[in-house]
Amino acid sequence: MQKIRAAVCHEFNAPLVIEEVLLAPPGTGEVEVTLDAVAICHSDISYADGAWGGHLPAVYGHEAAGTVSAVGPGVEGFAPGDPVVVTLIRACGTCANCAGGQPTICDTPYDGVKQGPLRTADEGPLLQAMACGAFAEKVVVSQRQIVRIPADMGRDVACLLSCGVITGVGAAVNAARLRAGQDVVVIGAGGVGLNAIQGARIAGARRIVAVDMTEEKLDIAREFGATHGVLATSPKPWRAAYKALGGRGADAVLVTVGAVRAYDEAPKYLGWGGRAVMIGMPHAGAMAQYEPMSASFQGHGLIGSKMGDVVIQRDIPWMIDLYQQGRLKLDELISGRWSLDQINEAIADTRTGSAKRNVILFNH
């Protein structure tokens, strides 16, 4: 096992600790990727806060890009030197969900402690969180978790495709299945929300209403394609959204924040036959409420969407193509660039809610 530096969580709600850990070589069907960049997602922060439990110590991080530096037996299509993005979608490829084109809900279990490649410096158990553990200089992941990217594509930009972009764009295109001319409300204009807005724009939505807490974030939402903005703090904001949509409810409401209030209110934005897509993840045990009679009478649907229901080998290449055409904004999503030693500062900045995406650069 080789030694690498990583940001380790030893205690929930405490700063991460930069230390040396041990990384095993890639096994069958696995690759080692030397990372250039990893973005900080609110899911990483929620895990580090203990929102969803899990083993400690742990290494979080799951929006990464780098270069393949070693391959295990049986790896096909990848070789050392390949530039890639690394995702948390560790799909077996053979279960019923994978075979049905839904790798984001692969039902083959993976134990990030027992099966993961990480150990503490004294060879103790260390969780490879989200099957990735990318707050580290290197990762060992399944070949199914990576996608090749253009060699000239900036790794700081490319890493955003690993989660926030595919989750938001995918939720609009794959989960909501938006058609040209439909109307959309996006609750939350953070990293995922801005990409849901982009996805709605790319899908040809007629009007896109962004809902958030500040005018500043609504202004940013407009830059990414929102046609209207509504303050979530206003009384009955769904009424303002109805007005923005010309006196009708939305065909789809995309909830991109993990706030229970957003889930309570989401159905109120819907028009006849509309559907609410549940993307943001509240803390475990949090409960939302809705009125079943209204949902039944108006034909509403509630849809859960994990990672934008993407097939990364299909969806990431076309998103890269859109970026290269100038039709998908990526550079504009980056709020700040930090070194691994600054990760706690970058997390603190992300917590303020003003950052779109902060990116850790390993050569910074």
Count of beta carbons in the 10 Å neighbourhood of residue 238? 21
Whole-number CA gyration radius for the chain: 20
Within a domain: residue 235? yes
Which two structure tokens, joined as six digits, stand for 292?
A: 């079943």
Which of 111, 144, 109 has its CA nearest to residue 129?
111
Q: How far apart are CA 182 and CA 253, in angstroms?
A: 11
Residue-level pLDDT at 95 = 97
Domain that holds residue 292: 168-305
Site of tokens 């134990």 = 111
Q: Of 289, 305, 321, which closes a domain?
A: 305
Residues 172 and 145 in one domain: no
Is 70 exposed, middle or buried, given 0-12, 13-18 or 19+ CB atoms closer than 10 A?
A: middle
Within a domain: residue 215? yes
Q: In sequence order, what are the beta bridge partners of 229?
A: 210
Q: How far apart are CA 27 and CA 173, in angstroms?
A: 35
pLDDT tens, position by position, 189-210: 999 999 999 999 999 999 999 9
Q: In sequence order, what are the beta bridge partners of 252?
A: 184, 275
Residues 25 and 75 in one domain: yes
Q: How many H-runs (helices) and E-runs (strands) does the chain carry?
A: 11, 18
Residue-level pLDDT at 364 = 64
CATH number at residue 342: 3.90.180.10
pLDDT tens, position by position, 51-74: 999 999 999 999 999 999 999 999
| Coil/strand/helix, residue 17 | strand
Residues 187 and 286 in one domain: yes
Residues 129 and 189 in one domain: no
Q: How far apart are CA 200 and CA 196, in angstroms?
A: 6
pLDDT by residue for the chain (364 residues), tens only, comes to 999 999 999 999 999 999 999 999 999 999 999 999 999 999 999 999 999 999 999 999 999 999 999 999 999 999 999 999 999 999 999 999 999 999 999 999 999 999 999 999 999 999 999 999 999 999 999 999 999 999 999 999 999 999 999 999 999 999 999 999 999 999 999 999 999 999 999 999 999 999 999 999 999 999 999 999 999 999 999 999 999 999 999 999 999 999 999 999 999 999 999 999 999 999 889 999 988 998 999 999 999 999 999 999 999 999 999 999 999 999 999 999 999 999 999 999 999 887 789 999 998 6
Ordered alpha helix ranges (H), the chain: 42-48, 96-99, 155-158, 164-170, 191-203, 215-223, 237-244, 260-265, 292-297, 312-325, 343-351
Number of folded domains in the chain?
A: 2
Angle ∠(9,15,18) on CA atoms, nearest 5 = 65
Which two structure tokens, joined as six digits, stand for 63?
A: 């929006």
Calculate the alpha carbon distances from 34 to 68, 151, 321 in Å.
Answer: 6, 15, 24
Within a domain: residue 244? yes
Average pLDDT, the chain: 96
Q: How far apart are CA 198 and CA 160, in angstroms?
A: 14
Residue-level pLDDT at 356 = 86
Residues 63 and 138 in one domain: yes
Position 54: which residue type? Answer: G
Contact between 163 and 87 under an 8 Å Cβ cutoff? The reply is yes
Residues 236 and 281 in one domain: yes
Q: Tell me the HSE value of 286 on the side-chain side, using a 13 A CA sphere.
A: 15
Which of 252, 192, 263, 259 has its CA nearest to residue 221?
192
Output the pTM of the full model.
Answer: 0.94
